[in-house]
């Protein structure tokens, strides 16, 4: 494998609060060879082979879930004519200061500016109007996994806030009735929940407040996770669009009674942030810790070569490799001319879930030393056990990562009805408190507590809080506030 970035060193400082985390994050993307951030356009970065393979496995998992739930994959053009992009007024109001424009074809000025898609509602829905004729064409459920462009003015950061979002999965659906569209929102939430669970990423789902929902949507359900620096990251969103875009783009269908009716639509998106949160949440001082499901290599074998038994050890390593390959395990034998210790460091940095060490003693005893990346512990197993033990250990690592992340996440949720406490805790994690439900108090909470209102629990639940901490009125809801990315 080509060493794209040379052998960098992770900051040895144990990860802790905000500064260390962002330094750790930047360094691990570099030294584990996930992305090269030296590309000369702000907010745009290069996927390196190792990172790209992790991304591919994450995308495959999501693609499978969407296909299994009746979504069909499509691919739309990147460029959207200005008139089309501007048709839905709320939508364009939400995006106009983020759109990149193409104004020329070669030396010729275009007669109409073309937008690089920030998201594809206005590209897709005019085609929906052509594709949907009668109720027999419904429900229509499509998705695409593309790059989108947003001229972000806040601090850009690889995978977290990019100007070219390189892994933007957007699903768009059309339904005959509002009830079916509501059912689709529930299905999308279910798909996202199981997707994040399988990657061991904990989250809460909240209905975003009116002033922070997706432009043009009726309401937005957002998935937020907690990063090691106490800030939340929005890792997925599901939008109920109602008939808003259908009216704007004349997406109608003929009912069984022969009337023309506007369709009800939903859309839901996930981006590279899922990779960012997986890296940030499972990583440790030694670097990446990858869930086995999406690890390019699930097992790396390091032969401890000694004079006189070198060939025998390499033969034994090849046998183990064959045995594991037959079990469907992704295994790599590292026979580079390098000290075992440096190999250990190299693969721990890359987050390979299991390492098998084979030396003269293991050869003699017919055993193998297995090192778990999550627990940083070694166990010795008999050689014949490996085909059974290794898959079980990989399963166990996936569960252990999920469990640890969940426990840490729960510790980052604080319930309080004291404004002083809330002010102190926002920035440490997610604060839950009472809310009367008024926008005035919601915005006041953001100012007073120094965070963003994430919204109210989804699905809806009764609040156990008495009072709104701002106006003192009865709390109608539980509200979540946090410092966000």
Ligand X SMILES: Nc1ncnc2c1ncn2[C@@H]1O[C@H](COS(=O)(=O)NC(=O)[C@@H](N)CS)[C@@H](O)[C@H]1O
Q: Among candidates 127, 124, 122, 125, which has minimal Cα distance to 95?
A: 122
- Give the tokens for residue 319: 């046998």
Q: Using the minimum distance from each CB to ligand X, give the nearer residue, 161 or 343.
A: 161
Looking at 200, 228, 236, 291, which residue binds ligand X (CB under 6 A)? 236
Show the site string, 80-119: x = touches ligand X by CB under 6 A, - = not: ---------------------------------------x
Coil, strand, or helix at residue 141? strand
The 10 Å Cβ neighbour count of residue 222 is 23
Coil, strand, or helix at residue 442? helix
- When asked if residue 237 is in the footprint of ligand X (CB under 6 A), the reply is yes
Based on the number of CB atoms within 10 Å of its own CB, is 392 exposed (0-12), middle (13-18) or buried (19 or more)? exposed
Residues 278 and 405: their CA atoms lie apart, in Å, by: 10
Looking at 59, 116, 162, 290, which residue binds ligand X (CB under 6 A)? 162
Residues 203 and 197: their CA atoms lie apart, in Å, by: 9
Looking at 51, 228, 269, 442, which residue binds ligand X (CB under 6 A)? 269
Q: How far is the CB of 236 from ligand X (least distance, A)?
A: 5
Looking at 122, 184, 248, 271, which residue binds ligand X (CB under 6 A)? 271
Instruction: Report the residue number whose CB is nearest to ligand X.
Output: 269
Based on the number of CB atoms within 10 Å of its own CB, is 282 exposed (0-12), middle (13-18) or buried (19 or more)? buried
- When asked if residue 482 is in the footprint of ligand X (CB under 6 A), the reply is no
- When asked if residue 206 is in the footprint of ligand X (CB under 6 A), the reply is no
Site size for ligand X, by CB under 6 A? 20
- Segment interacting with ligand X (CB under 6 A) among 232-240, 254-262, 347-355, 406-414: 232-240
- When asked if residue 214 is in the footprint of ligand X (CB under 6 A), the reply is yes
Q: Using the minimum distance from each CB to ligand X, give the nearer residue, 265 or 481.
A: 265
Residues numbered 239-268 forming contacts with ligand X, rule: CB under 6 A:
239, 267-268
Looking at 30, 55, 91, 161, which residue binds ligand X (CB under 6 A)? 161
- Give the DSSP per-residue string, 216-275: T-SEEEEEEEE-TTS-EEEEEEEEEEETHHHHHTT-EEE-TTS-EEE-EEEEEEE-THHH
Q: Using the minimum distance from each CB to ligand X, give the nearer residue, 219 or 346.
A: 219
- When asked if residue 235 is in the footprint of ligand X (CB under 6 A), the reply is yes
Q: How far is the CB of 53 from ligand X (least distance, A)?
A: 20
Based on the number of CB atoms within 10 Å of its own CB, is 183 exposed (0-12), middle (13-18) or buried (19 or more)? middle
Task: Please check whether residue 442 is in contact with residue 210, taking contact to mean a CB–CB distance below 8 angstroms.
Answer: no
Q: Which residue ranges make up the site for ligand X (CB under 6 A)?
A: 119, 121, 150, 152, 161-162, 165, 170, 214, 234-237, 239, 267-269, 271-273
């Amino acid at each position: 494998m080509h060493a794209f970035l040379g052998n960098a060193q992770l900051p040895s400082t144990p990860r802790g609060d905000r500064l260390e985390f962002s330094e750790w994050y930047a360094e691990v993307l570099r030294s584990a060879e996930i992305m090269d951030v030296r590309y000369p356009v702000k907010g745009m970065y290069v996927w390196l082979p190792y990172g790209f393979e992790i991304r591919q496995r994450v995308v495959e998992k999501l693609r499978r879930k969407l296909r299994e739930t009746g979504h069909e994959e499509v691919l739309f053009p990147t460029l959207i004519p200005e008139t089309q992009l501007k048709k839905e007024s709320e939508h364009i109001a939400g995006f106009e200061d983020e759109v990149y424009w193409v104004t020329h074809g070669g030396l010729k000025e275009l007669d109409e500016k073309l937008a690089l898609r920030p998201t594809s509602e206005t590209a897709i829905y005019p085609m929906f109007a052509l594709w949907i004729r009668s109720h027999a064409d419904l429900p229509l459920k499509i998705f695409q996994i593309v790059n989108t462009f947003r001229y972000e003015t806040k601090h850009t950061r690889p995978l977290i806030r990019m100007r070219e979002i390189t892994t933007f999965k957007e699903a768009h659906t059309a339904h005959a009735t509002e009830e079916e569209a509501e059912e689709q929102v529930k299905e999308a939430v279910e798909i996202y929940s199981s997707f994040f669970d399988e990657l061991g990423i904990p989250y809460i789902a909240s209905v975003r407040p009116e002033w922070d929902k997706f432009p043009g949507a009726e309401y937005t359900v957002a998935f937020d996770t907690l990063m090691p620096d106490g800030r939340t990251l929005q890792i997925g969103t599901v939008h109920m669009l109602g008939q808003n875009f259908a009216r704007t783009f004349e997406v109608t269908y003929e009912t069984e009674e022969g009337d023309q009716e506007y369709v009800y639509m939903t859309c839901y998106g996930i981006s590279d942030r899922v990779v960012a949160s997986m890296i940030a949440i499972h990583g440790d001082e030694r670097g990446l810790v990858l869930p086995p499901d999406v690890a390019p290599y699930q097992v790396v074998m390091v032969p401890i070569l000694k004079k006189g038994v070198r060939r025998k050890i390499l033969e034994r390593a090849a046998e183990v490799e064959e045995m594991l390959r037959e079990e469907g395990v992704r295994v790599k034998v590292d026979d580079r001319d390098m000290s075992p210790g440096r190999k250990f460091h190299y693969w721990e940095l890359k987050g390979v879930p299991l390492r098998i060490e084979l030396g003269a003693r293991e050869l003699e005893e017919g055993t193998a030393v297995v090192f778990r990346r999550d627990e940083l512990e070694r166990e010795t197993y008999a050689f014949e056990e490996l085909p059974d033990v290794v898959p079980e250990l990989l399963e166990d690592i996936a569960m252990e990562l999920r469990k640890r992340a969940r426990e840490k996440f729960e510790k980052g949720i604080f319930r309080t009805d004291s404004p002083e406490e809330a002010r102190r805790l926002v920035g440490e994690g997610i604060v839950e408190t009472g809310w009367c439900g008024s926008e005035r108090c919601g915005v006041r909470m953001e100012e007073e507590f120094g965070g963003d209102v994430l919204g109210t629990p989804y699905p809806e639940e009764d609040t156990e809080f008495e009072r709104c901490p701002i106006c003192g009125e009865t709390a109608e809801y539980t509200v979540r506030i946090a410092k966000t990315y």
